[in-house]
Structure 1
Amino acid sequence: MLKKQIVALTMITAILASVGLIMPSEAVAQSAPSQSSFVVKDIRIKGLQRISAGAVFNLLPVRVGDSFSTSQSSELIRDLYKTGFFKDIQLSVETDDIVLTVVEYPSIAQIEFAGNKLIKEESLREALSGNDFIEGRVFQPSVLDQVKQELKRQYLNQGKYNAQVGTEVTDLPRNRVKVKLHVKEGPTAKIKKINIVGNDFFSDKMLMKEFESADSKPVWKFWGSENQYSREKVSGDLETLRSFYQDQGFLDFQILSNQVSISPQKDGIFLTINVKEGERYTVSQFVLNGRLIVPEEELLPFVYIAPGRTYSRKDVDDTVEVIQSRLAEEGYSYAEVVPVPDVDRDNNTVAFSINIKPGRRIYVRRINVVGNTLTNDEVIRRELRQTEGAAYSPSRVDRSKIRLQRLSFFDEVEIETVDVAGREDQVDLEIVVKERPTGSFLFGLGFSGDDGALIQASVSQANLFGTGNQLNFGVQRSDIIESVSLQYTNPYYTKSGISRTIGLSGRSIDAARANTSAFLTDTLALNMSYLFPINENNSFSLGAGIERIDLTATAFSVPQVVEFIEKNPENDLITLTAAFAHDTRDSILYPTSGKSFRLSTELTAPGSDLEYYRINIDSDYYYPITKRAAFKLGLDVGYGDGYGDTEGLPFFKNYFAGGSRSVRGFEARSLGPRDTSAFPQPFGGAKRVLFNASLLLPVGDGALDKRLQFFVDGGQVFENGEDIETDKIRFSAGVGFNWISPVGPLSISYAIPLNEEEDDEVEKFQFSVGTLIQ
């Protein structure tokens, strides 16, 4: 009889609970038998699908053999509800057994998005994971509501005030669901009007220019081309406004409030900024206090807050930064530089006490090199300017990285600082390199827009056996030239860094096939040169060699060439070279910052069969735009002449311009003076001027072995005795692509001449393999 009453009462309670009149836990509590307590003989759980019975038993506050009172029923059920696993729980007692009947929440099998464009799916999933709403977790309707509100908040931050988020829940087999979130983003709210209230010293127009996103645009263009609003942009520009005022001396400047109002259609934003400018302050004095490490007079040039100058927060920050950098060079990388202001509001002045606490000095304990499977450690370590056992210097570490990058052995170089366990005054440096192929064997057919079809075979190794020495051997045959060359360079011929290069070459040139005046040359040369480093950025080189040049006229040679060759058919020359170079580029192959300047001269020694000289100035400047993009300016000027018994520069040493290596868009060697033949051919000249401006942009996310460039080239060649006239200089503009390909450097360009004359030879599309045109 008692069991029937319990069953009946339980059924009534379940019905009431299902229509929401009472909570399930309350119903179960009332369904318990009217007895004070009993010893639990068994606990049974019904309705489990994904969750194991053992997991539920671990959650229960009662075990078999425990004494259980019906008054504990509500507490037991509340504990199970808190797990979030169950949407319904029923408890009954059968004799001395506890029976739990549960209905599990389904699990989330799949989450899909539709309609999201502004915010990518990855970002939306990240927002969901913050609410623990991810695939594989338990599905709870209350959490889904929280997710909808979070997604709306994400869109509100992006100015999408009309954004709507709908949900679609589809039941799947095995108590699973698929959740689809439908996003209707709506239009982005735009800035309709901005009011700045309280600015007397500066006009609205001037203040708008200082906002990061305004960039001198009218107010209606305030945030980008579509004037879109977002809270992050407002916060950033308010901070910019505060910095601007404080840099102009307004020490007490305040942004009192900023109000954002939305149009009734929720597509327009009205922003009002209330400011209090305060008074303008000047610096009265400053003093340096503390342990300065270096003499005070050496630190004074780094202090920008000079007495009499208008107060500027930027000057204060810059002063702190440069003093810290200077102390870091002495090994005090954690130096504290604290400017303490003393404000005199009666006189609108501020004095500064710059307190310096150098802290502990940091030394480099060990330098580890990682990733050099080919390159010897010694080759890397001899380029380092930071040494083991020395005080840590950020500038020496940076310089070491640049020197390693300029070796051209590595695609990537990173130097990481690692703390030494148990030692606060020591660090280790870990140099991580990613080697690039430095050796190649090449045999094949090729084509150059300047030299025509060619057959070439070469063996080159820029890092011979990992020693850093360079060896190049090549044989080439084209429509214009036949050559064989051997060159060997030891960059550390001496331990002090003096480099030596030995070269042997032979070549035959048919100038007529090079689109120039007709003649033939056969040259055999042996040379040796030394490069002497002056300091980190400057070097000087000297070289000497011997050359045998045989000249031959053809049936198409002009009289002046024939006459010269008849007098000088065979020429033995002693050549002397000298050069000064200044180079601060961050890389030889892929420069993005720094400059290079080279002044070089080539002359034949007195007593040679021909006496002449040539002087060249070649300079390139790279201005970084981003970490991987740069703007380049280049200038190349050459001049040559004869001396002694040689009148003028020999014609076979003339300068030429035009083609992929000088002025793109014009045929190779086509610019400048021409000979006197029936069909005048380029003859070259003793003077040459070349200009170049290029925007260098990386292609792809990897190393800078592929670059796109937008360029303007200019140049011209002039005869000896002819003035350099700017109106004769030819210009072109175009786009080019450079790639360090597996078969060698490849350069492609398309250029349009800007001021060609009627007789100019135009060639818009040009390419070459084997020469990198930066």
Structure 2
Amino acid sequence: MRSAPQRRALLALFCLFALLSCRSNGLAGDQNLWDGGSFEFLVQGNDSVSRQVLRELAAPELSDFRERGCPRSAADDAAYALETYYRAQGFASARVSYEILRPDEALPRLTLKVNEGPRCQISEISFQGATVFAHKDLALLMGGPTTAILGLGKVYFVRAEADSARSALETLYLERGFADIQVSEPSFEFNADKTRVALHFAVDEGSEYLLGEVRFEGLSGAELMAAQKSCQELLGRPYFARLGFEARSRLASLYTNRGYADAEITLEEVREEQGARVILKLNLQRGPRVRITAIEVLGNERTRATFIRQRIEMQPGDYYNRSLERQAFGELYSSGLFERVDISLAGTGTRRVLRVSVVEAATLKFSVEAGFGAFERARVLFGISEGNIAGTGRSLTLEGKLAQRAESLRLFLSDPWTLGRRHELGLASFYDQRQEPAFESVELGGNISISRRESRHLRTILGFEYRLSDAQSVEVDLSTPEIDAGQKSYIAALYLTSKYDSRDSVFLPTRGTWARLHFEVAPRQLGSELQFSRLEGRIAAYHPLGEHAVLAWTLQGGLIVPMQSSSEIPLQERYFNGGQNSVRSFGMSELGPQDTGGHPIGGEAYSVASLELRQKLPGNFTGALFVDAGHVAAEAGSALEFRNMGFAYGPGLRWLLPIGPLRIDWGINPDPKGNEADWVLQFSVGVAF
């Protein structure tokens, strides 16, 4: 017998996905009238696809249909658009015809008649003659819709996908050196009712060609040895066209990076069938060796020319270097100051001008964004930034938030140039006020930081922060042993933070990893009234499951330990748990230790683990199923005991809006204790992680 919360959870899941998966055949108002009432539009025979979806597919072909005299060509195009859609969904034999009626007095009527036919699944895929790759791996090349969500189940048959699979199969072999690969057009074997089909590909692999030798025409001595060394690691690899381009590029870089700006290389491939190897012949035409006489900057109206020149490591008198040119292009373009950057050599001969032409981008930006959170409620975010102060490439940003239960203001100066290309100097001042369930948290301070870009995805930040930390309007019983009665503290801390981000999207990631590790220490020697050390970590990963589903998970936790003359951590510096971005069956900060009056008092350690399955739904909607677990430890010493864990599971819905996804999560508590709620409905803008 299921418990009441379990029954509510099942009901919630059923209602949510039934609502989103239903196919409505009606429209607001008169469902037969086209926009503006210019003609009647009917669809017949559409059992599997909603009338609204088909109407949207036909819309581009039927604009001004009546005004153009109801042409048959437009109806043909509309019918073809629907037929194409059906076949892309696995209805291999779908047909769409039409009928146009033009009565004398009534509105013209266009009727699209759909004969869906059966939806056809692929029962078997065979690759006769394929020996190099496992057949189960080759079968994955066949895309298309599937019989179950998350890309699971059987694949529906789509002819266009079969043709794409054939092309992908040829490319796979070519990249392994099989230059003579031949893959036949697939043959199809349908069952009697055309609900199943077997696909058969005939593969003639041919021989695998390897790169056996690279010959450099016209080179000798040290130059020949350098050229041979640059391409040595390419020998023995399966040969395909891109490998030849790689060899040519490597030879070219030896010369274009030493001043030979006009160096040209021709490539000839010689295939030896007997040994199944390829010989590359590279012929070099050096051209003159070019020195830079001057660096000319054009198009900069606000940006200082010295700023642009400092991004270029070549100086007048240096030999031209193409790698340094590309590096300068990357730095200038990635600065965000320019819409377009062109770097070229002006003139001929051995002495030329390096010309940098830019088109400047707008650097003064404003932003206003409305949002809503289950705890903060209505909020407005605003910001103004200037990304090119006095033409130096430095930026100044003012950001703020006004909410019913919070407000903040932050001024930040960023200087990515003074400390070199991989470092960024930051200066910030901030004010944060937030109404927690049992007190009001106030922070006022500033920091200075140095950020270093370790790699494309990894950044490390070292900083010093000085801030006032205060708790006001406290409703908590301060006689509780774990709570420090002296709430107001001036904190001086050093911190080190590492961030890793390989996500494909900040707002709706479908793959990649995001991680953050933060260490902070506030000793007496820095002038900190409250002495402590803090360690926090978080990681989130995203794994695509098929074309429309993502499995996401996150682990996070934190630990703060008093030290030196401090024996307790004040309320506003403690950790709390529960809410829209942690354990979603609890209200904001409601998970964890409480005082005698039932007010949350937080703890010195916390943890959260979440698993979320996200499935794309029709329109701009995404459904989710999630599981959360977390806890709060009153003292750091008991952080790993994981007592009094809180859990949540349930469904969620996201509606993608221009300001970000509007999120609704129904967090169900599987085992409520004491005064814990059976469930909590969480509203917010943005994803949980």
User: Which TM-score bucket, shorter chain as reference?
Assistant: 0.5 to 0.7
Amino acid at match of 1:644: Q
**1:474·1:485 contact (CA, 8 Å) conserved in 2?**
yes
The size of the alignment, in residue pairs, is: 586
Cα distance in structure 2, aligned partners of 1:515 and 1:590: 30
- The more displaced of 752-761 and 547-556 is 547-556
**2:122·2:155 contact (CA, 8 Å) conserved in 1?**
no
Cα distance in structure 2, aligned partners of 1:222 and 1:450: 38
Q: Does 1:656 align with 2:576?
A: yes
Cα shift at 1:642: 1.2
Of 435, 447, 466, 1:545 maps to 466
**2:177·2:208 contact (CA, 8 Å) conserved in 1?**
yes
Percent identical among aligned pairs is: 13
Cα shift at 1:488: 4.0
Query: Aligned in 2, Cα 1:472/1:296: closer, same or farther, shift over 3 Å?
Result: same
Query: Aligned in 2, Cα 1:461/1:696: closer, same or farther, shift over 3 Å?
Result: farther
Cα distance in structure 2, aligned partners of 1:475 and 1:240: 50
**1:214·1:222 contact (CA, 8 Å) conserved in 2?**
no
Matches within 5 A, 1:584-623: 596-606=514-524, 608-620=528-540
> Residue by residue, what CA displacement relative to the aligned partner does 1:753-773 show, whole Å, maximum 9, x if unpaired?
47554344465322357x886
Of 748, 762, 765, 2:681 maps to 765
Amino acid at match of 1:545: Y
Bigger relative CO (Cα 8 Å, ≥ 6 apart): 2
Cα distance in structure 1, aligned partners of 2:401 and 2:200: 74
Of 488, 503, 506, 2:429 maps to 503
Q: Which residue of structure 2 aligns with residue 39 of structure 1?
A: none
**2:183·2:201 contact (CA, 8 Å) conserved in 1?**
yes
**1:623·1:632 contact (CA, 8 Å) conserved in 2?**
yes
Amino acid at match of 1:199: G
Q: Does 1:515 align with 2:437?
A: yes
Cα distance in structure 2, aligned partners of 1:401 and 1:696: 35
Cα shift at 1:641: 0.3
Q: Does 1:350 align with 2:276?
A: yes
Q: Which residue of structure 2 aligns with residue 715 of structure 1?
A: 630
Partner secondary structure for residue 398 of structure 2: strand
**1:662·1:690 contact (CA, 8 Å) conserved in 2?**
yes
Of 384, 391, 396, 2:322 maps to 391
Cα shift at 1:659: 0.9
**1:504·1:527 contact (CA, 8 Å) conserved in 2?**
yes
Cα distance in structure 2, aligned partners of 1:264 and 1:520: 72
Q: Does 1:529 align with 2:448?
A: yes
> Residue by residue, what CA displacement relative to the aligned partner does 1:719-771 show, whole Å, maximum 9, x if unpaired?
31114357936354533457564xxx7853313347554344465322357x8
- The more displaced of 158-167 and 745-754 is 158-167
Amino acid at match of 1:663: V
Matches within 5 A, 1:144-163: none
Q: Does 1:575 align with 2:575?
A: no
Amino acid at match of 1:342: E
Cα distance in structure 2, aligned partners of 1:248 and 1:660: 49
Cα distance in structure 1, aligned partners of 2:441 and 2:189: 81
Cα distance in structure 2, aligned partners of 1:766 and 1:264: 51
Q: Which residue of structure 1 aligns with residue 163 of structure 2?
A: 235
> Residue by residue, what CA displacement relative to the aligned partner does 1:256-281 show, whole Å, maximum 9, x if unpaired?
67666899999998876555455x65
> Residue by residue, what CA displacement relative to the aligned partner does 1:538-590 show, whole Å, maximum 9, x if unpaired?
3433123253657887684343267x42xx46644433334344556677677
Structure 2: runs of 5+ lacking an equivalent: 1-37, 45-53, 315-319
Amino acid at match of 1:449: A
Of 369, 374, 379, 1:449 maps to 374
Cα distance in structure 1, aligned partners of 2:603 and 2:132: 59
Cα distance in structure 2, aligned partners of 1:165 and 1:597: 54
Matches within 5 A, 1:27-46: none
Cα distance in structure 2, aligned partners of 1:772 and 1:263: 45
**1:489·1:500 contact (CA, 8 Å) conserved in 2?**
yes
Cα distance in structure 2, aligned partners of 1:274 and 1:461: 62
**1:383·1:403 contact (CA, 8 Å) conserved in 2?**
no
Cα shift at 1:111: 14
Cα distance in structure 2, aligned partners of 1:539 and 1:398: 21
Amino acid at match of 1:343: E
**2:121·2:154 contact (CA, 8 Å) conserved in 1?**
no
Cα distance in structure 1, aligned partners of 2:539 and 2:241: 35
**1:213·1:224 contact (CA, 8 Å) conserved in 2?**
no
**2:211·2:279 contact (CA, 8 Å) conserved in 1?**
no
Q: Which residue of structure 2 aligns with residue 750 of structure 1?
A: 665
> Residue by residue, what CA displacement relative to the aligned partner does 1:445-500 show, whole Å, maximum 9, x if unpaired?
x964234688x8x8742337977633437686856x6x675634244584746433
Cα distance in structure 1, aligned partners of 2:181 and 2:365: 58
Q: Which residue of structure 1 aligns with residue 561 of structure 2?
A: 641
Q: What's the RMSD between the two structures over aligned residues?
A: 6.6
Of 404, 411, 414, 1:487 maps to 411
Cα shift at 1:644: 1.3
Which protein has the larger Cα radius of gyration, Structure 1 or Structure 2?
Answer: 1
Q: Does 1:689 align with 2:604?
A: no
Q: Which residue of structure 2 aligns with residue 472 of structure 1?
A: 398
Amino acid at match of 2:271: P
Cα distance in structure 2, aligned partners of 1:198 and 1:698: 36
**2:186·2:201 contact (CA, 8 Å) conserved in 1?**
yes
TM-score by length of 2: 0.60
Amino acid at match of 1:664: R
Amino acid at match of 2:243: T
Cα distance in structure 1, aligned partners of 2:508 and 2:311: 22
Cα distance in structure 2, aligned partners of 1:271 and 1:448: 51
Query: Aligned in 2, Cα 1:626/1:120: closer, same or farther, shift over 3 Å?
Result: same
